[in-house]
Structure 1
């Protein structure tokens, strides 16, 4: 029996074999189609219940099967799973089109939509109806037959191309290793990094040390290795992902994706892909995003140029470096930071043992939102490293299942993300609770040390956990509006706001304890963490804005005449460029956020949400970082509400006013 087609509560990972996926997805599509037929063949007058609600509850089985499959394709993939992904993605994209291009179904949805003024709906019901109608109208329901056919072809191609893009990036990441046998080449590297590299070499049955493009190996090498030539080798290898003359080259794929997205937008009556995407975001238009980005750039650029100049002077003074290159940035910044603030990342790491940080983030969630996390071993997982928890509230009532997967592996893509295996919804009077997961690539434990996180990894854990809270505390009726199903430039608010607790003494005292002695992190370190929080914030801001502006350049114009990715990027980066150009590198060919993830025409949302998060956290600072009243307002108006109302309305109900960028600029030390 196919385990994916049986009734299950948590995902039955250990029972699934790769051969189960295709038949399960086929069957899931079949079941969902039958559910759609039931709606369209209903001869009663279309109503909110028999059409809008019925449609929201369709495809549940398919969604659960697909979420299991595609989550594994990111976190624990192999050649066979990648091959299946290439086959099933067009089926799912075709099925999505079958729904939005189903005339009988759209007719029923439109009938309900046209009578909504007479229906006496709640805010959530109105949002569901609006969203549903728009998902048809914005995805081709009003097109003529030949245009609908064209749309189906474009969507099938796009789903295959973005998968191929991701597979190529992963293959390039896995293909590179820097094998060192001379210990002198390791000068500057902390002992823990050497030990980790030695273990990689042993696992590959080699002598010496191996460094890879996985972040816990790559970032420390660029930050600490004294050997400039080797830093250069690593940096160029990372920047060449998808930009080499080999089978994993992504240049053609990038151009195909942006052109198809543009054609799709035109077909649907939009000027560009960015105009299509932003219509349903808080930002509303590309013009507004560019104005927002340029305003921030205007404030940040003078600071960035000054910081860069200081870094150049410092590198020249220290090592006679005449021209600072990209592979020098992290190295000299770390040294300068250490000198200015007497703060050494390596001194901090012993206080951030992974298990303690997890306990800390749980304790903070408990104090703010009355949650309790119980480590359980009876929930099935896809890998032995995955941890599982039962989440309950103050009354002992079940809230969610939480999965956490922390370390890099061959089958796992780089980066960190939150995902879901089951959405929250209220169905037949039962509040079905969500199953939420975070996946990261943190420093692994070694033979002599536990997993000790860099401060950056600590903030990443808090960030992803903020997303997880948004999923876990969801409390809406309809699954399509639940949890993180919100406007994309609002989705980063819960994740980014939680990062602020990492900088507060009251919070750090809960978990920043030396892994050997148990001593709480010295307050002088906490002060230095806070002092150094805005170190090179001008450069960081310009860097982040450069990615968002590159994204808008790709998606806010007709890309038909773009022939060279490299030339295009050089133009796009002109106003934000600090370091000299590296001829053999490109950003776009491994820019997974916009070509594989869901951030196309949306990368600006990190900065957009930072304005919200700085403003929101200012409220906590005014009242106390564990103030129950403010936390409850945040939970009730933001975390639990999902996409049931317009984001700015939810935010204003929490904060009492709209967010202004002043809090962000103040926090960043830019005003």
Structure 2
């Protein structure tokens, strides 16, 4: 898994269901009794502009947030007073935006430091303390977008505003509209009540899923059932991780354990048992006290009321206001274009896998919980491709060296480690980034923490934590932290990356490059800020796509003992990891994306929506007791309601971009990399992504490149335009 953490992602009302001005909502924010005139903020930063990690405590971090949040809110209030008394000209947008940026910079930095510490070492910033910091900073950061006075004044500005100020003005107006500032106080109060109820329902949904996950436990004592499990999976399920092959082992519903179990367990009945527990969790099919069907319907109803109050027919239609695709109709057409080829490819793939399974002695019709197991067996038997064996060629230090070299060659930059920098734990490293195209000072910097203190998130993750954005008014350069929760290896042996890990590292670093190489002057437009949700993962996916190139993989690979690179024979097989069952996997992505949209625009009961959509995207039947929407936390308790498709659409855009690099000489690739740097990496959210794409490709996006990269077009005889 991969995550980008940003402070000011577009449209706070869509991201956080309680983002209402603290002056109106009556929030009680838990911050320490530290006055705003104290110098707590001074203890957080060093004179060289980097965090003073050796001196940071929970107390001075909380104190700095209180001080800086108060200053932000005072500045907004001061602007409101000046506007009402006509002391300033609202037409001077640059002056207003720069003043807001100056006070936002220090707050953003302290908030980012707290996030890095929370993810990197939660003993430094425990969860409760971090949530206090997060809430105080979030409310202060949103205050400018919840100001009725500021919104009314800005909405009267001329359409002749140009450049970054025009883009920032558009953001203020859209944020204000979605926060209800175009309505009367009574309607805003109603909106507040809806969002408070929604917050409670979302919290209940998440809590019940968590409880359902921890309630299930399936014990195994027979080593034959786990004999093919990779060591990393055995360590996760063993009673004694130090002796992973000894047993007993406990299977839980943690996502990475379910995924691994279905892939490696040879006993079909055991696979079914774990799979059915997973798809029925938090539903009426299991423990009644943990059922989420009621909360799911409550969340859908409240979101529809929210959208209707704001003038939109459905929540899905409201969500499109912050997306590159712009409308549900456009999105549905993209789904149809992909399904036209992915559907037939899926049927062909499953038929071939069924034949292989029968030839291997399997006597049943393949079901959903059989696919991952037989796919793995097929890759080993027919292609001698064992993903676990590939790990030995990707030791973590070598991967980072290769990734840095690739980025330097593509974007004409230098990445230089700086020693003797204060960090939150000894293994953390810091790097300056220099732009060779001009200037001697670094344009930004980043930390890398590969081994978080505890893997409390259940699987390997990567976070790009924005510590601070580029902010010319506050004279701040971008700074971020790349945090991974790999298990620290034993002495003398490097951590070996799986192919999924490899993609996650590249994707995380791609987002870091977009954060670090931005040239947008305002913090709310720089890096990944203000980028449409369905384009937010484009840079990360573009970097991932370089792993499709055998030459890139060869440069990255080095066996951790022999130091040999992957052979040409092995390199030719690796694309099968991506293209094997690509039609099946794409149909799965399309199903979840469309299900999310339909659940946020249809009035039908959730199960009826599932029954309608399932056969459209699947060639296998729906289990009668499958209740997977009841545990879809990303949609119903997370930030991705009516936005799940964004993950897929970012891949569509990235594949189209990556096709521009294909088949070119090293010099031509460097030239193309420079164009990508000057568009997608430099412009950030200062230009709509559709326009940025046109500047890079000279046309609008197409789904063809994604289909080609997945080798789907060669698996079907379907004809017609893409």
TM category, shorter:
0.7 to 0.9
Q: Provide the residue aligned with 1:362 in structure 2.
A: 404
- 2:707 pairs with one of 660, 665, 668: 665
Q: Distance between the aligned counterparts of 1:362 and 1:75, measured in 2? A: 22
Matches of residues 592-671 of structure 1 in structure 2 within 5 Å?
592-624=633-665, 627-671=669-713
Select 2:504's aligned residue among 457, 460, 466. Answer: 460
Q: Is the 8 A contact 1:181 1:207 kept in 2?
A: yes
Q: Distance in 2 between matches of 1:143 and 1:299?
A: 46
Deviation at residue 211 of structure 1 after TM alignment: 5.1
**Mapped pair 1:373 → 2:418:** no
Secondary structure of residue in 2 paired with 1:518: coil
TM-superposed CA distance for 1:38, in Å, is 1.9
How far residue 578 of structure 1 moved from its aligned partner, in angstroms, is: 3.7
Whether contact under 8 Å (1:496, 1:613) holds in the other structure is: yes
89 and 470 in structure 1: CA distance in 2 versus 1, 3 angstrom threshold:
closer
Asked whether the equivalents of residues 293 and 604 of structure 1 are also in contact (C-alpha less than 8 Å), the reply is no
Q: Distance in 2 between matches of 1:108 and 1:302?
A: 55
Aligned-residue Cα RMSD (Å) equals 3.6
With the length of structure 2 as denominator, give the TM-score of the two structures.
Answer: 0.81
Q: Which runs of 5+ in 2 are unaligned?
A: 1-37, 714-722
CA gap 1:236/1:400 in 2 versus in 1, 3 angstroms: farther
* Aligned match for 1:510, one of 534, 537, 555: 555
Which of 566, 585, 588 is the matching residue for 1:521?
Answer: 566
| 1:515-535 deviation digits (Å, cap 9, x = unpaired) | 110001011111111355322
Task: Tell me which residue corresponds to 1:427.
Answer: 472
Correspondence for 2:592? 547
Which residue does the alignment assign to 1:41?
81
Matched position secondary structure for 1:324: coil
Q: What residue in structure 2 maps to residue 141 of structure 1? A: 181
Question: In the alignment, does 2:261 pair up with 1:221?
Answer: yes
Confirm or deny that 1:267 pairs with 2:309: yes
Relative to structure 1, the CA distance from residue 233 to residue 163 in structure 2 (aligned partners, 3 Å threshold; closer, same or farther) is: same
Range moving further from structure 2, 195-204 or 470-479: 195-204
Counterpart CA distance in 2 for 1:13 and 1:666 is 47
Structure 1 residues 374 and 196: CA distance shift in structure 2, 3 A: farther
CA distance in 2, matches of 1:170, 1:471: 33
Residue 591 (structure 1) aligned with residue 628 (structure 2): no
Find 2:195's aligned residue among 142, 147, 155. Answer: 155
CA 1:240–1:401: 2 relative to 1, 3 Å:
farther
From the superposition, tell whether residues 433 and 210 of structure 1 become closer, same or farther in structure 2 (CA, over 3 Å).
farther
Give the Å deviation of 1:37: 1.3
**Alignment CA distance shift 1:551-1:12 (3 Å):** farther
Q: How far has the Cα of 1:419 moved from its partner?
A: 3.4
Matched, 1:115 2:158: yes
1:310 aligns with 2:355: no
- Whole-angstrom distance in 2 between the partners of 1:76 and 1:68: 12
State the alpha-carbon separation in 1 of the partners of residues 425 and 207 from structure 2: 20
Tell me, yes or no, if the aligned pair for 1:391 and 1:400 is still in contact at 8 Å: yes
2:322 pairs with 1:280: yes
1:161–1:257 CA contact under 8 A, matched in 2: yes
Q: Is the 8 A contact 1:222 1:235 kept in 2?
A: yes
Deviation of 1:216 (Å): 5.5
* Aligned residues of 1:443 and 1:452 also touching (Cα < 8 A): no
Identify the residue that residue 542 of structure 2 maps to in structure 1.
497
SS in 2 for 1:411: coil
In 2, the alpha carbon distance for the partners of 1:499 and 1:125 equals 33
Aligned to 1:185: 225
TM-score, structure 1 length as denominator? 0.87
Q: Provide the C-alpha distance between the structure 1 equivalents of 2:251 and 2:268, rounded to a whole number of angstroms.
A: 15
Whole-angstrom distance in 1 between the partners of 2:415 and 2:268: 45
Residues 239-248 or 315-324, more deviating: 239-248
Aligned residue in 1 for 2:272: 232
Asked if the contact 1:368–1:631 (Cα under 8 Å) also holds between the matched residues in 2, the reply is yes
Structure 2: distance between partners of 1:58 and 1:85: 21
Of stretches 164-173 and 639-648 in structure 1, the one that deviates more from structure 2 is: 164-173
Structure 1 distance, partners of 2:449, 2:259, is 20
CA contact (8 A) 1:168 1:250 kept: yes
Equivalent-residue separation in structure 1 for 2:138 and 2:498 (angstroms): 40
The alignment status of 1:569 with 2:610, answered yes or no, reads yes
Q: 1:311 offset after TM fit, Å?
A: 1.9
Contact 1:484 1:643 in 2 (8 A): yes
Structure 2 residue matching 1:489: 3-state secondary structure? helix
Which 5+ residue runs of structure 1 have no aligned equivalent?
Answer: none
1:246 & 1:67 partners in 2: Cα distance?
Answer: 40
C-alpha separation in 2, matches of 1:11 and 1:213: 38
- Deviation per CA, 1:580-632: give whole Å up to 9, x if none: 44566533344343334433222222332233222211211142367211000
- Alpha-carbon distance in 2 for matches of 1:511, 1:64: 34
1:294-373 alignment runs, 5 A limit: 294-373=336-415
